[in-house]
């Protein structure tokens, strides 16, 4: 991540749905969404309730729990072609456990994908995929799952606190509800700016890396947060409130 761009983001006092509010109370439309982990929005009610309920049972420590089995069953149901699943504190933890590696294709950024694919909400898994990396729609959580076909050996799952596992399950359920109500035709909200190449709701900048700082600053000055990372997509699958794009389209940048 570019610390220079990240440090341009004002201090956030609160967040709700797809908006951030800074110390002055100014509203910022969030198209970064915590690297997509907040694709359900900030402060989702279902996730907050799941965490509260699990923590009320004292399930802080990463002991074996029923939530691990529930998460494995969820992944088996959602991705039936993948017989092996592992859940890890972070992708770095997975790599340090000597799991099978390789370059992961990103269908949000590439038209052609291979055997190792980074799964994203709303994007399909190619038929050739044999190794799948999943980042969950859980804001602020680095936990990833890796799924493999029969011929791939995965390291054992990390010990994950039960409250985190329950949050992963609930955030997935919340996303499935959101997916069922999605209106893909609304994802084209920034197409006419000429700044982006879009695949599904995912936006890749058309400008060069050297020009991206100016684009980031341009959007932020107009109350819109795009990804502070050039190689990480911004996302248009958000609920837009009236006036949120007014400053952007009033004087569009060429």
- pLDDT single digits (tens) 47-85: 989 999 999 999 999 999 999 999 999 999 999 989 999
Buried b (16+ CB within 10 A) or exposed e, 201-234: bbbbbeeeeeebbebbebbbebbbbbbbbbebbb
Look up the CATH number of domain 46-179.
3.40.640.10
> What digits encode the pLDDT tens for the residues 79-108?
998 999 999 999 999 989 887 776 788 999
- Domain positions in the chain are 3-30+183-250, 46-179
pTM of the model: 0.92
Degrees, nearest 5: CA angle 119-51-10 = 70
Q: Would you say 91 and 144 are in contact if contact means Cβ atoms under 8 Å apart?
A: yes
- Rounded to an integer, what distance in angstroms lies between the CA atom of residue 108 and that of residue 127? 16
CA distances in angstroms from 252 to 102, 168, 215, 225, listed in the order given: 40, 39, 11, 16
- Rounded to an integer, what distance in angstroms lies between the CA atom of residue 98 and that of residue 231? 25
Low-confidence winner among 112-116, 135-139, 141-145, 193-197 (lowest mean pLDDT): 112-116
- Rounded to an integer, what distance in angstroms lies between the CA atom of residue 72 and that of residue 78? 10
Q: Would you say 169 and 141 are in contact if contact means Cβ atoms under 8 Å apart?
A: no
pLDDT value of residue 206: 97
pLDDT value of residue 77: 96
- Rounded to an integer, what distance in angstroms lies between the CA atom of residue 56 and that of residue 163? 10
CA pseudo-torsion sign 201, 202, 205, 206: negative
pLDDT value of residue 98: 80
> What digits encode the pLDDT tens for the residues 136-182?
999 999 999 999 987 667 899 999 999 999 999 999 999 999 999 99
Residue among 228, 216, 177 at smallest CA distance from 40 = 177
Architecture of domain 3-30+183-250: Alpha-Beta Complex (3.90)
- Rounded to an integer, what distance in angstroms lies between the CA atom of residue 244 and that of residue 102? 40
């Amino acid at each position: 991540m570019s610390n220079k761009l990240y440090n341009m983001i004002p201090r956030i006092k609160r967040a709700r749905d797809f908006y951030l509010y800074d110390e002055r109370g100014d509203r910022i439309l969030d198209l970064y969404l915590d690297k997509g982990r907040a694709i359900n929005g900030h402060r989702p009610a279902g996730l907050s309730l799941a965490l509260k309920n699990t923590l009320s049972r004292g399930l802080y420590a990463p002991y074996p729990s029923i939530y691990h089995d529930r998460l494995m069953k969820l992944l088996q149901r959602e991705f039936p072609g993948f017989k092996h699943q592992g859940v890890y504190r972070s992708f770095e933890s997975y790599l340090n456990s000597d799991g099978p590696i390789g370059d992961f294709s990103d269908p949000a950024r590439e038209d052609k994908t291979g055997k190792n694919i980074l799964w994203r909400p709303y994007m399909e898994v190619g038929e050739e995929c044999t190794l799948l990396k999943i980042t969950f729609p859980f804001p602020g959580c680095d936990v990833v799952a890796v799924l493999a076909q029969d011929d791939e050996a995965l390291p054992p799952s990390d010990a994950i606190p039960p409250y985190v596992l329950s949050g992963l399950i609930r955030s997935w359920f919340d996303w499935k509800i959101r997916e069922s109500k999605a209106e893909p035709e609304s994802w084209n909200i920034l197409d006419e700016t000429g700044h982006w190449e879009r695949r599904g709701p995912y936006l890749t900048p058309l400008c060069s890396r050297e020009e991206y700082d100016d684009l980031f600053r341009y959007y932020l000055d107009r109350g819109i947060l795009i990804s502070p990372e050039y190689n990480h997509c911004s996302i248009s699958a958000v609920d837009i409130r009236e006036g949120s794009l007014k400053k952007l389209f009033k004087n569009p940048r060429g």
